[in-house]
Structure 1
Amino acid sequence: MRTRARAMAPDERREVLVDATLRLLREHGRQVTTRQIAEAAGVAEGTIFRVVDSKDELVDAAIARAFEPGDLVARIEEIDPDLPLRERLVLLVSIFQQRFRATFSLMRQVGLVGPPHHDSADHQAWRARLEELVAGVVGDDEEFTEPVDHVAHVLRLLTFAGSHELIADGRLLTPEQVVDTVLVGLRRAPAC
């Protein structure tokens, strides 16, 4: 006999359903059923429609959730600023690659060719915070031929391209390869 799920407020129930839907989208794409979602969330299938109007609304909310910062900011904040530059950058690129690859995989599963449009003040604030964190990990611009914000931009672009199966022609770059390319290309030559 199935046990009844604990009572939750509609907003809390919606969060549980969105989380379950996102996990299932990564596996089944848009073919996920409301029955699968209900089972994964531990609710009756009819409960879904007390929280959202349609499966499509739930799928859209789950896709939007995938593009939220999640733990990305916290993981970058954990990078020790006292580590040598190369080690800091390898950790940063590793974090970005995990995020990019998970996002690319989800996009393939659900048939997206680009991310959902974000114009909210929250999204803009998150982007600014992310840029600030990345610049902090990169560190002092005296080591580079370009300003830190440019180095951070190049690092993110190379990480993005080197993490995408189609862009990289199946030859994905390791975090070390990305970092070494940036360090050799943008670092000042030692004084003789």
Structure 2
Amino acid sequence: MPPRARPLSPEERREQLTDVTLRLLRVHGRAVTTRQIAEAAEVAEGTIFRVFESKEELVDAALARAFEPGDVVARIEGIDRDQPLSARLLSLVALLQQRFRATFDLMLKVELVGPPGHLHDSEEAEAWRARLTLLLIDVVGDDADQLAVPVEHFLHVLRLLTFAGSHPRIADGRLLTPEQIVETVLLGLRKRD
């Protein structure tokens, strides 16, 4: 019998179980059991059903957590704006690739072909994309005048190439490095003398 769980509020317990389930989904996919979740969370299996109606509701909460921005905002804000544009973009692409790869691995493990519709096609998701665009524009900063296209288009192309170049199936198993992505986009979209 597992040890008695530390008393938590229902919301704290939901958060704890969601985090544990997300971690286990990355290993076991949808085959994860409530018993495994309970053991990893060090709670009795019945504790899960005091804060979640079903395993499916818990898995949905964990998948929603996976698509939240998490620490991405702080990490983008932490990119040193005093570096040259290419160095800033390398940091940005490396960060985005980590995020994309973790998401792709999880999606493959739980057999998703795309993000859940309610997470991608919502007002909240649209607000996050708008915020991300502003963060990325800030990374480019005053160097936007070096670009042959509007900064929003430049960033769109950079994100698309990063996405495609980070997905093992889209890239036919030949993933692009941050250097390859940044060099391709800068060479293609920088102003020429």
Classify 1:159/1:98 alpha carbon distance in 2 versus 1 (closer, same or farther; 3 Å): same
Whether 1:49 and 2:52 are equivalent positions in the alignment is: no
Give unpaired runs (5+ residues) of structure 2: none
- The total of aligned residue pairs comes to 190
Which residue does 1:61 correspond to in 2? 61
Q: 2:170 aligns with which of 152, 161, 167?
A: 167
Provide the residue aligned with 1:125 in structure 2. 127
Does structure 1 retain, via aligned residues, the 8 Å contact 2:21–2:62?
yes
| Residue 115 of structure 2: aligned partner | 115
Between 75-84 and 135-144, the greater mean CA deviation after superposition: 135-144
Q: TM-score, normalised by structure 1?
A: 0.95
What TM-score does the superposition give when structure 2 sets the normalisation length? 0.95
The aligned residue for residue 22 of structure 2 is: 22
- CA offsets per residue over residues 115-150 of structure 1, 9 Å max, x none? 012344332222111110111112332101001000
Amino acid in structure 1 at the alignment position of 2:139: V
Q: Which moved more, 1:1-10 or 1:83-92?
A: 1-10
**What is the CA deviation profile of residues 19-59 of structure 1, one whole-angstrom value per residue up to 9, with x for unaligned ones?**
00000000000000101101111111110000111111101
Q: CA RMSD in A?
A: 1.2
Alignment of 1:30-41 (within 5 A): 30-41=30-41
The one-letter amino acid of 1:101's match is R
What is the deviation of 1:102?
0.3
The aligned runs of 1:179-190 (5 Å cut-off) are: 179-189=182-192
The residue type equivalent to 1:79 in the other structure is: I
> 1:77 corresponds to which letter in structure 2?
E
Instruction: Give the aligned partner of residue 97 of structure 1.
Output: 97
Over the matched positions of the two proteins, sequence identity in percent amounts to: 69
Q: Give unmatched runs, 5+ long, in structure 1.
A: none
